[in-house]
Amino acid sequence: MSDNREIKIYQNESSIGTGYAEKVEAEQIAGTINNEYRPKRNLAEAAAEIQQLLEQLEQSYPSKSSAEKMVVAAAAIDRIEEDSIWKQRVVNAVKEGGLAAFEKAIDNPAGAFVVGAIKGWQEIDN
């Protein structure tokens, strides 16, 4: 049985391609890795920003009862909505990484109310 594979050797390069494989540049590999990692990073960053905002607001507002947590969440939602770029980044991060993952990433009882608002923003964007 004859094998008609091409063998390509790239001199003065850091890689040798065999078969039908093409030369892969370091930038292509890095781009692939970054594209696979980016949704998780964006999701984690957006969740961390909201977590920090909730913690700041809890210093100003009591947050023992569910009603008080809703007040903290409402203040957080207002702040995010005031900044259209921040709001869009959050929506995009949730689209890329998933709402359930985002909800888990926010480690705050008031976070569930914020997640509900983000879900609503997503539905409006679609």
Residue 108 or residue 32, greater confidence:
108
pLDDT above 70 (res 77) = yes
Query: Mean pLDDT, to the nearest integer, of 92-111?
Result: 90
Q: What is the pLDDT of residue 34?
A: 47
Q: What is the pLDDT of residue 41?
A: 84
Give the 3-state DSSP-derived string for the chain, with helices as H, strands as E and coil as C.
CCCCCCEEECCCCCCEEECCCCCCCHHHHHHHHHHHHHHHHHHHHHHHHHHHHHHHHHHHCCCCCHHHHHHHHHHHHHHHHHCHHHHHHHHHHHHHHCHHHHHHHCCCCCHHHHHHHHHHHHHHHC
Mean pLDDT of all residues belonging to the chain: 78
Q: Is the pTM of this model over 0.85?
A: no
pLDDT above 80 (res 39) = no
